[in-house]
Homo-oligomer: A and B are copies of this chain.
Amino acid sequence: MRTGVWLVGARGSVATTSIVGALALRSGLTAPIGCVTELPQVRGPALPSFSDLVFGGHDPVLTPLAKRAEALAAAGVVPGRLVAALADDLAVVEDDIRPAPTGGTPAERVARVVADLADFRRRHDLDRVVVVNVSATEPVVTPHPAHADPAALAAALDGPDEVLPPSSLYAYAAFTADCPYVDFTPSTGARLPALAALAAQRGLPYAGHDGKTGETLVKSVLAPMFAMRNLQVRSWSGINLLGGGDGATLADPAANAAKVESKQRVLGETLGYHPQGDTRIDYVEELGDFKTAWDLVTFAGFLGIGMRLEFTWHGCDSALAAPLVLDLARITAAAHAAGASGPLADLAFFFKDPLDAATHSLGEQWTRLCGFVAGLHAAAGGTDAQAG
């Protein structure tokens, strides 16, 4: 099953790490640590193998992929020896990265993306292309009447107004080109009625939002722990210190707000009430891609006695995100192959702010994920041995 993975933001940290990692895995240069789709409970015949994946994408920036990979190696995000060993393979991927379209009407830019996708699929003879948004976080979108339905939207796109933010423009283009779409960012993406309707019309699956990699991942197991033990969380405060490309973007208060909101959701929905306290994101350039998050939880136990838990998470954001990007591409491709359409609620396991999520508990999301993928494998009619 030859599968295209089209990365919006193809020269960013997450994208570059994903590409380097997939190439290294394909060549057997590394073990699949961090890859959920390689766990015994998830792997199987329905998923395209790492060698089935072909990468391309859009980015406005022109820095060569190899340069970005070297910078990531210097920052300790990927091992330098892999970047050196994969120089040729990176050059091949380089040829499939297109400049992000600019200028013209939104409709003209959509057409450009659709053409790039079609060209990519044809040249590589791909069974399908999954579009994954890993570009910079956008501010919260401004509402517009054309967001309500596909026809109104198609009309508006032809005008001069920026009716859609880039993430949604890419989702629109993906659906138009018959590609499933995954949003790894907190941006709007496919989360508009008009886009949901378009995906439904064309029978396409999509997934999102906002990869769950650090503080929120930990929250999604700790909050259920408090809930299962009937302990009363009184306050939950957190601070995220991060540098890197994404950190700089989030220094912009508008983008920050979108991210913080998706980070706090897990608490209210898991506990059934809103503890005091906020989550903050601060940009500290010197931390680079290594994020430090600190959380303080105060809670009451039996007879109201006060207690506390604090944790410090020191993670490499792109290294946490990249294997999930590969997991999402593989599973979404398999879902598309199996005829799934609409929001993939069973992929909530991967997201901070999951579409249509029934639960924010990581354990319950895991059970659903395993069930969903087992269904795909069953449909694929195969056995583990066929997967290779």
Chain A contact residues, CB within 8 Å of chain B: 17, 20-21, 24, 30-36, 38-39, 76-79, 82, 217-218, 221-222, 224-225, 228-232, 234-235, 237, 239, 241, 276-278, 280, 282, 284-287, 292, 294, 296, 298, 300-305, 307-316, 319-320, 322-323, 349, 361-364, 366-367
Contacts and interface: CB of A to CB of B under 8 A. Distances in A.
Contacts of A35: 230, 302
A87 B47 CA distance: 49
A118 to B, nearest CB: 31
B228 A366 contact: yes
Nearest to A321: B302
Contacts of A282: 237, 277-278, 280
A10 to B, nearest CB: 18
Contacts of A17: 302-303
Contacts of A286: 234-235, 276, 298
B314 A302 contact: no
Given A237-B284, A239-B280, A305-B78, A225 B218 contact: yes
A300 B79 CA distance: 13
3 closest A-B pairs (Cβ-Cβ)?
A363-B363, A311-B311, A34-B302
A310 to B, nearest CB: 5
Contacts of A362: 225, 228, 363
6 contacts: A20-B303, A33-B300, A237-B241, A287-B298, A302-B323, A361-B363
A31 B224 CA distance: 20
A35 to B, nearest CB: 6
Given A305-B76, A307-B315, A221 B225 contact: yes
A247 to B, nearest CB: 11
Contacts of A33: 230-232, 300-304
Contacts of A39: 228, 230
Contact of A287 (B229, B235, B292, B309): B235
Contacts of A225: 217-218, 221, 362
Contacts of A292: 296, 310
A97 to B, nearest CB: 21
A20 B302 CA distance: 11
Nearest to A30: B303
A34 B230 contact: yes
